[in-house]
Amino acid sequence: MAATHTTAAPAGELRALAGRHLMTHFGPVTAAGLPIYVRGEGCHVYDDEGSRHLDALSMLFCVNVGHGRAELAEAAAAQARELAYATTWDAVHPPAVALAARIAGLAPGDLNRVFFTSGGSESVETALKLARSYHQLRGDARRVKVIARELAYHGTTAGALSATGLPSVRTPFEPLAPGGCHVPHTDEYRPLPGRDPLWAADAIEQRIAFEGAETVAAVILEPVQNSGGCLVPPDGYFARVREICDRHGVLMISDDTICSWGRLGTWFGGQRFDYVPDVITTAKGMTSAYAPMGAMIVSDRVAETFLAHDASFAHGLTFGGHPVAAAVALANLDVIEREDLLGHVRRHEPGLRGTLEALRDIPIVGDVRGAGYFWGLELVAEPATKRPFAPEVAAEILGFLGPELQRRGLICRAADRGYPVVQLAPPLIAGPEEFAEIGEILRAALSEAATRVAG
């Protein structure tokens, strides 16, 4: 039996305990050798050895208002003292009611109904179940399929994994829940000559026709696709998808798990790209990750089907709408509004983009793409021709960059999920000083990586 230890244990002891007992996510079953972060302040975190790191990923695209916000911690403590836990099953509580009403006021169009979850995968799972229930009530019980994009990541629970288009994530757990269908993503970096710019949207209609519209429940898309490296839609893409979904009676789900709460300079992705979905799934920046929480936001049109049939949505989660998490979310929204962080992102987006564009002179930097405070650099063997690296070379580069960026004090993502990319998503409070630090460290690490490849 393991002994009891406190978080104040010496660094060496903590590292030994991590190696012995802690399993990592999307990684080894041991945390041996990984950094241990012990404190955060603003855009930086500090490890157990006292080193400072610029968090240019908001940890996992989620610490939107930055680290060390006392007001969020105080909101959690005050709520825990008053009412630490209550459900949103056969009763409700004030923080959940207040937060649902506030979210409805921020969401686009008629998205006025809010179902709370504990995170992004749960939000997507919830939305896929809602889509099936919605069509069943309308007499379309065969509508069970969901169309998503290749490379897209929508979560790890059974239904969400079926929508996920990443073979590396899906394959180890096959057979998956049935119903997942995939279409091409919006790769604007390598357009084919003469092809309609909205071909990827039309591919969704072609897939609906192939599957049979009477079998398709929903289309799920991220505003800016994370996997693949911040893939941005072409102008008019979402308007075309909206038309296609309406034409075939298919629900349009916007997976805003990353792209909401200011990440793109708007509350939700639809407001950045001018579309109104039927359902939004969200999490991460909703509480700036100070407490686990997510949500599914549903249009009145969809909710009306349940009301008209006096039907329940037979789905629930123990911690959905947790009062402490809801109190933190409300405090988080206060910070975002009080400090005009959406406006801050829009004003400083050109500066962040310019910092990254300046790295194009490095021989392995190909594309720079993204929106708001959500950016990716695709690494290629030959920028002039956009020739990709051979898989083994890409793995070598990323194997070097991950530890090297960490060693230099920059937290970002260097990974290959479809393309070898470096991704950045700094806290919404970041500005020119942080951009300069990002640019300096990236230039040094990427230049070294380019030298290694050339050598």
Q: Note whether residue 25 is domain-resident.
A: no
Residue 310 has pLDDT above 60, yes or no: yes
Residue 314 has pLDDT above 90, yes or no: yes
Mean pLDDT throughout 96-107? 98
Domain boundary among 303, 338, 373: 338
Residue 11 has pLDDT above 70, yes or no: no
Q: Note whether residue 312 is domain-resident.
A: yes
Residues 130 and 218 occupy one common structural domain: yes
Residues 111 and 220 occupy one common structural domain: yes
pLDDT at 419: 87
pTM of the shown model: 0.95
Mean pLDDT throughout 258-268? 98
Token pair 């002891």: residue = 13
Residues 312 and 398 occupy one common structural domain: no
Residues 149 and 85 occupy one common structural domain: yes
Domain boundary among 315, 338, 361: 338
pLDDT-derived band of residue 5, with 50, 70 and 90 as boundaries?
Answer: very low
Residues 132 and 185 occupy one common structural domain: yes
Task: Name the percent of the chain lying above pLDDT 90.
Answer: 90
Residues 234 and 285 occupy one common structural domain: yes
Residue 179 has pLDDT above 80, yes or no: yes
CB 269 within 8 A of CB 253: no
Distance between CA atoms of 143 and 250, rounded to whole angstroms?
9
pLDDT at 418: 82
Residue 123 has pLDDT above 60, yes or no: yes
pLDDT-derived band of residue 326, with 50, 70 and 90 as boundaries?
Answer: very high
Give residue-wise pLDDT tens across range 234-254. 999 999 999 999 999 999 999
Residues 324 and 352 occupy one common structural domain: no
Q: Domain span at residue 85?
A: 71-338
Residues 114 and 246 occupy one common structural domain: yes
Residue 454 has pLDDT above 90, yes or no: no
Give residue-wise pLDDT tens across range 183-218. 999 988 998 899 999 999 999 999 999 999 999 999
Residues 210 and 310 occupy one common structural domain: yes
Give residue-wise pLDDT tens across range 24-52. 998 889 888 889 999 999 999 999 999 99
User: Which of 21-35, 72-86, 174-188, 401-415 comes out lowest in average pLDDT?
Assistant: 21-35
The domain that holds 285 is classified in CATH as 3.40.640.10
Residue 283 has pLDDT above 80, yes or no: yes
The count of C-alpha atoms lying within 13 angstroms of the C-alpha of 70, restricted to the half-sphere facing its C-beta, is 0
pLDDT at 4: 47
CB 200 within 8 A of CB 128: no
pLDDT at 33: 87
Q: Could you give the number of structural domains in the chain? A: 2
CB 257 within 8 A of CB 221: no
Q: Note whether residue 7 is domain-resident.
A: no
Residue 423 has pLDDT above 50, yes or no: yes
Domain boundary among 311, 338, 365: 338
Give residue-wise pLDDT tens across range 47-78. 999 999 999 999 999 999 999 999 999 999 99
Give residue-wise pLDDT tens across range 377-396. 999 999 999 999 999 999 99
Q: Note whether residue 371 is domain-resident.
A: yes
Distance between CA atoms of 77 and 140, rounded to whole angstroms?
47
Residues 289 and 350 occupy one common structural domain: no
pLDDT at 3: 45
Question: Mean pLDDT, the chain, as a whole number?
Answer: 95
In 3D, which of 369, 366, 377, 373 has the Cα closest to residue 352? 373
Q: Which two tokens stand for residue 251?
A: 């629900």
pLDDT at 1: 39
CB 378 within 8 A of CB 419: yes
Residues 207 and 142 occupy one common structural domain: yes
CB 290 within 8 A of CB 267: no
Residue 295 has pLDDT above 90, yes or no: yes
Residues 88 and 236 occupy one common structural domain: yes
Distance between CA atoms of 180 and 192, rounded to whole angstroms?
27
The domain that holds 57 is classified in CATH as 3.90.1150.10
pLDDT at 282: 98
Mean pLDDT throughout 140-151? 97
Q: Note whether residue 9 is domain-resident.
A: no
Task: Name the percent of the chain lying above pLDDT 70.
Answer: 98
Q: Note whether residue 405 is domain-resident.
A: yes
Q: Note whether residue 149 is domain-resident.
A: yes
3-state secondary structure the chain: CCCCCCCCCCHHHHHHHHHHHCCCCCCCCCCCCCCCEEEEEECEEEECCCCEEEECCHHHHCCCCCECCHHHHHHHHHHHHHCCCCCCCCCCCHHHHHHHHHHHHHCCCCEEEEEEECCHHHHHHHHHHHHHHHHHHCCCCCCCEEEEECCCCCCCCHHHHHHCCCHHHHHHHCCCCCCEEEECCCCCCCCCCCCCCCHHHHHHHHHHHHHCHHHEEEEEECCCECCCCCECCCCCHHHHHHHHHHHHCCEEEEECCCCCCCCCCCCCHHHHHCCCCCEEEECHHHCCCCCCCEEEEEEHHHHHHHHHCCCCCCCCCCCCCCHHHHHHHHHHHHHHHHCCHHHHHHHHHHHHHHHHHHHHHCCCEEEEEEECCEEEEEECCECCCCECCCHHHHHHHHHHHHHHHHHCCEECEEEECCCEEEEECCCCCCCHHHHHHHHHHHHHHHHHHHHHHHC
Mean pLDDT throughout 352-368? 97
pLDDT at 211: 98
3-state secondary structure 378-426: EECCECCCCECCCHHHHHHHHHHHHHHHHHCCEECEEEECCCEEEEECC
pLDDT at 8: 62
Mean pLDDT throughout 264-269? 98
Mean pLDDT throughout 330-339? 98
Residue 2 has pLDDT above 80, yes or no: no
